[in-house]
A = this chain, B = another copy of it.
Amino acid sequence: MKRLTKVEEQIMQVIWKSERCLVRDIIDSLGDPKTPHSTISSVVRILEKKGYVGHKAYGRTYEYFPLIAKEDYFKQTIKGLVKDYFGGSVQRLVSFLAKENELDMSELSEIIQEIDKIEKEEQDD
């Protein structure tokens, strides 16, 4: 799973978001100034070559869809970051975020409650 470049990732975000995705939809989603159709098409073809997207043809019209889930790509990305910046410890990452005031106590409590609930539900099965 090769790492995406900036433009490639922007386009993947659009493809992940939409159900039905033509090149035109990507252009519209990216906002102004409008990038030429051929430029987007070119990147999408590279994404297909890299295995990130597939397509279904309706005549000349191609509908693109993700082959790699957004969640999976994110997981691998964050895993790499945690490895490089926190020696592989997710705990250290979260601790860092809390110290940087990106996350406060009440939010942490909420998460604990949420997880608690899920674990209780699992016990019920």
CB under 8 Å from chain B, chain A span 77-101: 77-78, 81, 84-85, 90-91, 93-95, 97-100
Using Cβ atoms and an 8 Å threshold, which residues of chain B touch A6? 3
Once A6-B3, A107-B91 are accepted as A-B contacts, the answer to whether A115 and B100 lie under 8 Å apart by CB is no
- Which residues of A are in contact with B by a Cβ distance under 8 Å? 3, 6, 9, 13, 70, 74-75, 77-78, 81, 84-85, 90-91, 93-95, 97-100, 102-103, 105, 107-112, 114-116, 118-119
Copies in the complex: 2
The reply to whether B111 and A115 form a contact with Cβ atoms under 8 Å apart is no
Closest to A75 in B: B100
The dominant DSSP class at the A interface is helix
Contacts of A94 in B (CB 8 A): 94, 97, 103, 107-108, 111
Q: How far is the CB of A25 from chain B (nearest CB, A)?
A: 18
Closest 7 CB pairs of A and B: A90-B102, A91-B107, A74-B85, A95-B111, A90-B103, A98-B115, A94-B94
